[in-house]
Structure 1
Amino acid sequence: MRLDQVELNALRHLFGNEPSMSALNADEVTCIVIERALTSVGFYSIIKFTDAREVEPSTEVSKNFKHPCLKKGGAYVCWVNQDLTFCLEGFSKESAWPRALTPLALQ
């Protein structure tokens, strides 16, 4: 599956300033979404970069964000698994996860 605009925006929000993720700021991102699912408070995606990207399995990176459809805001969380896939989660702090922030394939 191709990377959805919601996932791309989440990755840019999390990693936009990191040189190792500079491809996120261009339109040449080459990723395969291995799995994508709704959760009770948002969504998660398992993403594999198809180019040779030097990443290390790591602790999670998370950032809060505000959106008009989320009363208390939300957060994106991402970590690199041992197999070098990225696990990306988006979740609401309190209210239901809005359709506007859901990858199209899950709507």
Structure 2
Amino acid sequence: LYLVSRLVYNGEIDAEKASAKLSAILGSPEVYNKIIFSMYAGMKNGRVFQQSGGDESVIYFLRRIAQDEGPEALEKALNAVYGYTGFKGSVGCPMPELEDACDALKVIYGIRSEE
């Protein structure tokens, strides 16, 4: 899903076709695939997203962004994820485990807190 999300984001493949193909291959609902594509775009743009594929996929995407593109891209992605966890917390669904994982990635990749 990460690699396909990246291709969709870069405009190398069409989101609708990619979603349908993934659905046929993986059995995942097309709407889920589109949520993942949107989550990745949010991370890449440092923009808050309101749906994700779950904590595990968020953390995996963060790690891959860090590995593929470095700390600056990770910092932008982390800002999006912190915005997402803030949004979820504001609607009564706090996400302390995901926030802790983000904090750990900041330490691993030497990203300073803005506090």
Q: Normalising by structure 1, report the TM-score.
A: 0.26
Whose helix proportion is higher, 1 or 2? 2
Q: Which gives a bigger RCO, structure 1 or 2 (Cα 8 Å, sep 6+)?
A: 1
Greater C-alpha Rg: 2
